[in-house]
Amino acid sequence: MIKATAPRFCPRKRCPYYQAADNPITKDGTYTTRTDATPRQAFYCTQGKHRFSETAYAELFGKHGSFKEYTQTAKLTQYGLATEAIADVLEKDPRTIQGWQEATSSGLILRWVLAPMPVPLVYSLV
């Protein structure tokens, strides 16, 4: 059996343990947001003594949208719809959609929604 795990590190640039490999990052429950009923994973930086969201690993941190809206924006953009058209469909401000498009332009969004934390996977035999 192969088990895929993602290495965890502190994504907060102000933390003195930012991206330190020897800093244990643990799961710290889940939470929901006003815009999304889908639970999001919270993590705890043991040495930095702070919590952070799974979205901190992606460019979507602080964008205040739902996973569904991010996915729809990425798909509609790939279909060639203009920012204003996507904003009209999702009933959002075009500046909001533009921010989401910039955050999802790397193509990581669809993988991130399916498997949070778009970092390299480490495979081990179990």
pLDDT in tens, the chain (126 residues): 343 455 688 988 899 999 898 889 999 999 888 877 888 888 999 999 999 888 777 776 667 777 788 888 888 998 899 999 999 999 999 998 888 888 777 544 444 443 444 444 444 444
Task: Give ∠ CA 30-6-73 in degrees, rounded to 5.
Answer: 65
Q: Is residue 5 part of a domain?
A: no
**CA dist., res. 100 & res. 46, Å (int):** 31
User: Model-level pTM?
Assistant: 0.58
Q: Is residue 1 part of a domain?
A: no
Structural domain range at position 26? 18-115
And the tokens for 41? 């994973």
Q: Is residue 3 part of a domain?
A: no
Domain count, the chain: 1
Q: Is residue 7 part of a domain?
A: no
